[in-house]
Amino acid sequence: MKKIDILKKLRSSGLRPTKQRVEIAKFLFEREKTFHFTVESLNKLLTKKSISKIALATIYNTVHAFKAAGHLSEVEVRGNKTYFDTNVSNHHHFYDSETAELIDIDANDIIIQKIPKAPNGKKIKNVEVFINLKN
């Protein structure tokens, strides 16, 4: 992902491209593979990597803005930390509880044959499959 795309991504989220936001955005989006993270882990990685320290509140704010703009999604994982995902397409996950690591599964790699109908007046918004792993 190019620098110009990072700036586009920020502006399209209604975010001014400040030093901190650019740094966060580059860290999140300039990579080949999906990145799954918690705010805590992101903060640690950013602290390790960058010269300038970014306040935790700024990381929360920026991550939430990206989520609101649809550039990040939230993944549910047991425990009380919130996991985010740079893959915003409809997909599924393996979860390795040993390493607390998520692995993407492409939506096409899981086919559900039979599914119950939604209850009284409700509709199905989406279906998430979560595959727990063991050794």
Which residues lie near Zn ion (CB under 5 A)? 34, 85, 87, 104
Instruction: Mark residues 53-82: x for contact with Mn ion by CB under 5 A, - for none.
Output: ------------------------x-----
Which of 6, 9, 15, 66 forms a contact with DNA (CB under 7 A)? 15
Contacts of 32 (CB under 8 A, 6+ apart): none
61/87 with CB nearer Zn ion = 87
Nearer to Mn ion, 7 or 100 (CB): 100
Distance (Å, rounded) from C-alpha 74 to C-alpha 83? 6
How large is the greatest C-alpha to C-alpha distance in the chain, in angstroms?
A: 55
26, 37, 24, 21: which is closest to 84 by C-alpha? 37
Q: Is 80 in the site for a second copy (CB under 8 A)?
A: yes
